[in-house]
Structure 1
Amino acid sequence: MTTSSEKTDLLAAFAEQRELLLITVRGLTDAQATRSTTVSELTLGGIVKHLAQGEEVWTQIMVKGDGELPDGMLDMGQYRMAGGDTLPALLERYARAARATEEAVAALVDLDVSVPLPRTPWSPPEPEYWSVRRILLHLIRETAQHAGHADIIREALDGASTTAQR
């Protein structure tokens, strides 16, 4: 019996959550991707943009390990498609971010590598450190949570859902 490594298992779980999210944007136009269909202001394009930016930021935190605040980490515009954004471009950005995350994790000796978190307005007074494992788990949880949001938004948009499109 062959057993996969923890890295392989976590990256596979992460890829699975990304795939569930991507089902929600299949066949959409840019106009549909910018449409808010619930009382929330979240849109499908905004969710893709946020998750792409989140992966970029957290991968930078893992790789650099310097505790510096990455550009865009606190950018509240990451939740909305801007005038020049297109869904295909955001999807490509998300794919690039996923590849970068997977490459960064694969290059690590193990998941116990600990990195300082950037200082934010809500940070505790003392420096905080997370292992790469915890960062990956955070990203998986964040992706799963937003995949659920995206499923509801898509279902309200045109009746499609991840269950029906699998």
Structure 2
Amino acid sequence: MTSGGAALPDGERADLLQTLDTHRGFLRYTVRDLGDEQAARRTTASELCLGGLIKHVSAVEARWMRFAVGGAAAMEAAEPGGGAGAAADWAAQFRMAEGETLAGLLAAYERVAAETDALVASLPDLDRAHALPAAPWFEPGATWSVRRVLLHVIAETAQHAGHADIIRESLDGARTMG
């Protein structure tokens, strides 16, 4: 959980990052030994595929970390390979696009994870809060602290790790746990 030799945080930050890293690990483990074609295959009634889940969770984590630092405006900033444009085609962020590889998506996810870990270790205060962006699923005028953002990212990652486990089991019988 260090980024570029950065010191490990302790206390609450260490607990939050360790929990997030555990769920990231479940997700990464679920795609072990797969080729790009398998990672792009839909195996259930949903639009989800394993590579798409890696892509989505990576983008979501990066977006929420931008929010943690700069609020809603920073969250909406364009990001490489997606960002604000990806919101226009919600389903596209859950699919592997032409030319994307599982290895490339995993490498991008590793970079995002390292950036998150370094950011959380360096922020002066987890209580720092920003107003949420206007959206029908957020209470108008609500704010989230960095702590709340981390809890959301943990929940999102855990939920999608579970989705990935079901997709993988449907693909070839392999499971993350059990």
Of all paired residues, the percent bearing the same amino acid is 50
For residues 16 and 137 of structure 2, what CA distance do their matches in structure 1 show?
28
Matches of 1:123 and 1:151, distance apart in 2? 29
C-alpha separation in 2, matches of 1:110 and 1:63 = 11
1:121 deviates by 5.6
Per-residue Cα deviation, 1:31-81 (whole angstroms, up to 9, x for no partner): 00010111111000010000010011111111223x212332525121111
Tell me if structure 2 keeps the 8 A contact 1:37–1:156.
yes
In structure 2, give the amino acid aligned to 1:140. Answer: I
Q: Aligned pair 1:11/2:17, yes or no?
A: yes
TM norm structure 2: 0.83
Partner residue of 2:50? 44
* Deviation by residue 1:111-151 (Cα, 9 ceiling, x = unmatched): 11112222336555x43310011100000000000000000
Q: Structure 2: 5+ residue runs without aligned partners?
A: 1-9
User: Whole-Å Cα distance in 1 between the matches of residues 145 and 64 of structure 2?
Assistant: 12
Query: Would you say 1:61 and 2:67 are equivalent positions?
Result: yes
Out of 127, 135, 146, the residue aligned to residue 120 of structure 1 is 135
Residue equivalent to 1:137: 151
Comparing 56-65 and 90-99, the one that deviates more: 56-65
1:92 aligns with 2:107: yes
Match of 2:177 in 1: 163
Q: 1:20, 1:147 within 8 Å by CA — same for their partners in 2? A: yes
What is the CA RMSD across the aligned residues, in angstroms?
1.5
In structure 1, list runs of 5 or more residues that go unmatched.
none
Question: Displaced runs of 4+ in structure 1, greater than 3 A?
Answer: 120-124
- Residue 106 of structure 1 pairs with residue 121 of structure 2: yes
Q: What is the rounded CA distance, in whole Å, between the counterparts of 2:25 and 2:51 in structure 1?
A: 15
Q: Tell me, what secondary structure is at the counterpart of 1:120?
A: coil
Quote the Cα distance in structure 2 between the aligned partners of 1:143 and 1:33: 17
Contact 1:33 / 1:87 at 8 angstroms: preserved in 2? Answer: yes
* Counterpart secondary structure, 2:144: strand
CA contact (8 A) 1:61 1:70 kept: no
Could you tell me which residue of structure 1 aligns to residue 166 of structure 2? Answer: 152
Q: 2:96 matched to 1:81? A: yes
Whole-angstrom distance in 2 between the partners of 1:122 and 1:11: 26
Number of matched pairs: 159
